[in-house]
Amino acid sequence: MVLRAAVVPLFSLPTRVYWEDTDAGGVVYHARYVAFLERARSEWMRSVGHGQQALIDGLDLVFAVRDMHLDFHRPARLDDALEVTVALARVRRASVEFAQQVLRGGDVLVSARVRVAALDAGGFRPRAIPDALYGQLKPLESNAEQDR
């Protein structure tokens, strides 16, 4: 049996829960967490120098979610201040896997594993991540694997 440590977040995006994120009872609707996670991944990519439009214009590359696994632990509510974390779990030649969490204070509300596939921007066909980008991302992988 191999014990694995939790992935250390490399990036955190603060956000707040607004009325539009909730149901009538003021609890965050489950699908809104997907938007929170997406924004954090996009801002993480921008923080390492690769905004989405720059990837399209410069590398003819887009990333599309291939699969995701979400575990809902506790609800977020109207006006909660949240942190959405991003850790690069694994880079492969044509995909990237992220470990993410939505936190309120120190409490984990949602944990997620998200795998994105590399596609050419023009035809949305699978492609390899360009060598220069792969070389930049690979060293950013977390040394620890989060349990699935």
Structural element, H or E, at residue 109: strand 107-120
Q: Which long-range contacts (CB under 8 A, 24 or more apart) does 28-33 make?
A: 28/75, 28/76, 28/77, 28/80, 30/72, 33/70, 33/72, 33/102, 33/110, 33/112
* Active-site residue, selected from the candidate residues 21, 23, 71, 131: 23
Tell me, yes or no, if 23 is annotated catalytic: yes
Tokens 């040394």, located at residue = 143
**SS3 of residue 25 by DSSP:** coil
Q: Which residue numbers are catalytic? A: 23
